[in-house]
Amino acid sequence: MRTRIFFLPVLFVFAIGAWADDDTTKLQIEVKTRSGRPVDRAGVIVRFVEGRSVAKFGKKIRTTYELRTNQDGVARIPEIPQGKIMVQVIAKGYQTYGNTYEIQEPEKTIEVKLNPPQPQYSAH
pLDDT at 4 (0 to 100): 53
Contact 103, 48 (CB under 8 A): no
Question: Which residues in the chain show pLDDT less than 50?
Answer: 7-8, 10-21
> Would residue 120 count as lying in a domain?
no
Tell me the sheet residues that pair with 109: 28
> Would residue 64 count as lying in a domain?
yes
> Would residue 74 count as lying in a domain?
yes
pLDDT at 79 (0 to 100): 85
Q: DSSP readout, 80-101?
A: EESEEEEEEEE-TTS--EEEEE
- 58: containing domain: 2-114
> Would residue 123 count as lying in a domain?
no
Angle, vertex CA 46, rays to CA 22 and CA 59, nearest 5 = 45
CATH label of the domain that carries residue 75: 2.60.40.1120
> Would residue 122 count as lying in a domain?
no
DSSP 38: B
Q: How many domains, in total, are found in the chain?
A: 1
> Would residue 12 count as lying in a domain?
yes
> Would residue 121 count as lying in a domain?
no
